[in-house]
Structure 1
């Protein structure tokens, strides 16, 4: 372990797979050393700012409730949001070009960044309108789509994906192809890894390598979000992610992706506060979105009821002794009059 730590200090992204696999097993003093190394790489890469975006989740089913959609968009804008996120299926009764129309209606209503449509939903939207994926994404971008969530990546290994979803998931190669297509038409995306279930450390490293290969070719990933499996599917013997594994994975991701993906998000809706602080001291630099609920429809979105307030953000930043910066979706500067955190 000590030799791999020394090698990583010299060249964070230069270890062979077995080196990163070994580091994923770090514990005790070696875990503390790994976290400190990852944090030093974070500091050199992006500085000490703790970043956060003000956003809210919306349900794509709102495409058939346009007046309610308008009201929620107005509310999001009035509450200071700069982003809305849409993930989930379109309703069956929606028209063939519903996804494009949904984006166009939102962006005509307010200058919000629309972060929408996971890879499988991109494929479904293209099929609905009878076009290629590239044509759909091009049309959606023209309507105002700003970026796509790189979620449902799980682990990019078909055997693991089949175990987790019973074969209902798109193949790993198709997920990669869809993300590459989004990048090719000029859209950025997040990158994700879901851990703490049936995957091995070697499969975690292979997944990060696959993301690195996409980034080398497209440069389209804006950040990595590492998320533990929380809702275990029936019949899946998931081991559950420990705090030790969470810390080691975030640290290794910071090292392996150094020079490729600058930002590493602490997935606060899926981690307790102590673990959020630990990963932010061990390679992560971002808190993601605050997930505004509002009052018109506080149940909207898959993470309803989980809101990060401005006070929460500053409390976390204070514990870390780091400054807060409200960012745009793509890590740009927010206009001063729109800063609420």
Structure 2
């Protein structure tokens, strides 16, 4: 498998891109896989046109005047469940997040190997006991499977028990690109098969939990694999209608496995094209495309918000109690920053719940006015 040599770095033939643009402008459901691949290689005026078409699709799919965000806090499950003396009590962390205005706790990662067999469930119960109105968005497919295995029960049974205990939704991360050969190469042969990810996500949807969905680009994937990944997510959505949003994110060089060499070097051009194609290829199935703001530069965040994305994601608030939280530790967005970004793209900041509803008035975070809006 050749590293980092695809249409993102080699501009596609202009004539092919122009023909694909005509097709997607007339009907986003009509392009062939070859045409989507050509669009992923768009550059210059053709890239600008692709992004404009994607932004028109955003306006048709969502509130055209809104830039939505959720007030949340991230926890690394392996840290929270470690029992280390340096880690604050989970109840204190949850209470602090609630007092600071968070409506969501996002928790990812495995519990330690020596944790109790029902360790995942205990975390759900503890969080729900402290803040029953807090939405708990937790446990990727690998953690869901680990939890069910530890408890010796089927995956749907664990998910149903966790739902009843207070789990509200599951992150659709750990998807990377849903291609077995690629995932094996990324992981050095240790990645679970695509079928397991799909089984876990569909089980969550079947018991009434919704999930996010993700696309991780900027490593060793080909444009055709990106297209196939988006089509597969669309097929799952057709079956379950359980995805709340699509989060498009690049692999950062700091997070790339050493054996990938130059991975994690996605260009600004590529990022604009991938977000635009993600919006258009999933049009009619996904209302929301989220910006992974922690992984993009400020100007690129503006680019993708003007090229198909409608949501800025979570503020990732921190308080005085701050356990280690992985790659996003210390990355916080303020309400003022959201307002500034919204002003730059000509939209109004709108706070949402995890499921894209409206929070109660008592939970709303004050948004500062930005002059010149």
Q: TM-score range by the shorter chain?
A: over 0.9
Per-residue deviation at 1:109? Answer: 0.8
> Is it true that 1:322 corresponds to 2:358 in the alignment?
no
Per-residue deviation at 1:58? Answer: 1.7
Aligned residue for 2:41?
Answer: 25
Aligned residue for 2:171?
Answer: 149
Q: Can you give the 5+ residue segments of structure 1 that lack an aligned partner in the other structure?
A: none
Change beyond 3 A, Cα 1:249–1:94: same
Count of residues in Structure 1 that have an aligned counterpart in Structure 2: 341
- Identify the match of residue 247 of structure 2 among 225, 229, 235: 225
Q: Deviations over 1:229-266 (max 9, x none)?
A: 10211111344211111100100011110000110001
Q: Distance in 2 between matches of 1:301 and 1:246?
A: 23
Aligned residue for 2:137?
Answer: 115
Per-residue deviation at 1:18? Answer: 1.0
Per-residue deviation at 1:15? Answer: 1.5
Q: Distance in 1 between matches of 2:41 and 2:303?
A: 17
Aligned residue for 1:242?
Answer: 267
Q: Distance in 2 between matches of 1:11 and 1:221?
A: 23
Q: Can you give the 5+ residue segments of structure 2 that lack an aligned partner in the other structure?
A: 1-16, 368-373
User: Which secondary structure state, in structure 1, belongs to the residue aligned with residue 350 of structure 2?
Assistant: strand
Aligned residue for 2:66?
Answer: 49
Change beyond 3 A, Cα 1:76–1:301: farther
Per-residue deviation at 1:302? Answer: 4.2
User: Which secondary structure state, in structure 1, belongs to the residue aligned with residue 213 of structure 2?
Assistant: strand
Q: Distance in 2 between matches of 1:172 and 1:255?
A: 24
- Judge which range, 280-289 or 16-25, deviates more: 16-25
> Is it true that 1:15 corresponds to 2:36 in the alignment?
no
Per-residue deviation at 1:167? Answer: 1.5
- Identify the match of residue 91 of structure 1 among 100, 103, 112: 112
Q: Deviations over 1:148-168 (max 9, x none)?
A: 000010011111111111122
Q: Distance in 2 between matches of 1:31 and 1:261?
A: 22
TM-score (norm 1): 0.97
Contact 1:118–1:149 at 8 Å: present in 2 too? yes
> Is it true that 1:40 corresponds to 2:31 in the alignment?
no
Counterparts of 1:247-326 in structure 2, within 5 Å, are 247-297=272-322, 299-326=324-351
> Is it true that 1:2 corresponds to 2:18 in the alignment?
yes
- Judge which range, 304-313 or 88-97, deviates more: 88-97
> Is it true that 1:158 corresponds to 2:175 in the alignment?
no
Contact 1:48–1:323 at 8 Å: present in 2 too? yes
Aligned residue for 1:106?
Answer: 127
Per-residue deviation at 1:93? Answer: 2.9
TM-score (norm 2): 0.89
Contact 1:57–1:301 at 8 Å: present in 2 too? no
Aligned residue for 2:77?
Answer: 60
Contact 2:88–2:321 at 8 Å: present in 1 too? no
Aligned residue for 1:81?
Answer: 102
